[in-house]
Structure 1
Amino acid sequence: MTSNAYAGREPVTRTAHDRPWTVDLESEDHAADRRLTIDEAVDAVEQTRAGRHVDLVTHERHGHPSTYLYRPLRAVDRRVELSDEGRCSCGGYVTRVRVDPK
């Protein structure tokens, strides 16, 4: 019997995300490079389909994302709504970015 490993769920390797998803920006590479965090966060928002959201989990070393990440996220060529979802259990910060369907 053959099983489909992706039955009922979206592959994590898919470029454009049709469902809400989470991006882990807490690696040591991200902790050491704020620019990398910003670039990959912006890319994640651009890969999120209209009407959906992405949760960006950023390293605590950079401080609260409102001080460095919100402005670049608002500058993407899409209408977005940002919300502070608080801190995650590992100490990082979670920012939810909803992409307006219009």
Structure 2
Amino acid sequence: MTAPSHDAVEPVTDHDHDNSWSANLEQPHHADDEELVRSQAATAIERTVAGNHVNLVTHANHGHPETYLFSHLGDIYGDDIDVEYVQQCGCGGHVTRVQVK
């Protein structure tokens, strides 16, 4: 089975969020596409207004987000964000809170 093109996948958001919000990155198309998760996580952060946070809810298939997501976001945003692991969901996914400074 071939994964859909990233261009064919609905964006995680289509507007800026001047509040705290959650980005759902555990849809079936995220299950086998770690790069899509990283890309849409970065988009979610970019669409979050400074002073707010976004909860990145990631698919269980990729394991703990510290292993593939934290350093990726740090490389992009450096000290402009704070990344905090919140918890594992009952479904097996993971919640990471990213505070945008």
Classify the TM-score, shorter chain. 0.7 to 0.9
- Deviations along 1:50-81, one digit per CA (max 9) or x if unpaired, are 00000000011101000000012112346100
3-state SS of the aligned residue for 1:98? strand
Structure 1 or 2, whichever has the larger Rg, is 1
Determine the structure 1 residue equivalent to 2:34.
34
Determine the structure 2 residue equivalent to 1:81.
82
* Aligned AA (2:92): G
Q: 1:93 and 1:25 mapped to 2: Cα distance?
A: 10
Query: What RMSD over aligned residues (CA atoms) do the two structures have, in Å?
Result: 1.7
* Bigger fraction of residues in helix: 2
Q: 1:35 and 1:69 mapped to 2: Cα distance?
A: 10
Percent identity at matched positions?
44
- Deviations along 1:3-60, one digit per CA (max 9) or x if unpaired, are xxxxxxxxxx651100000001001110111000000001101110000000000011
* Equivalent residues in 2 for 1:17-56, closer than 5 Å: 17-56=17-56
Is 1:15 equivalent to 2:15 in the alignment?
Answer: yes
* Aligned AA (1:60): A
3-state SS of the aligned residue for 1:48? coil
Structure 1 residues 89-98 or 75-84, which shifts more?
A: 75-84
> Which stretches of structure 1, 4 residues or more, deviate above 6 A after TM superposition?
none
Determine the structure 1 residue equivalent to 2:98.
97
* Aligned AA (2:23): V
Q: 1:56 and 1:77 mapped to 2: Cα distance?
A: 15
Which runs of no fewer than 5 residues in structure 2 stay unpaired?
Answer: 1-12
Determine the structure 1 residue equivalent to 2:68.
68
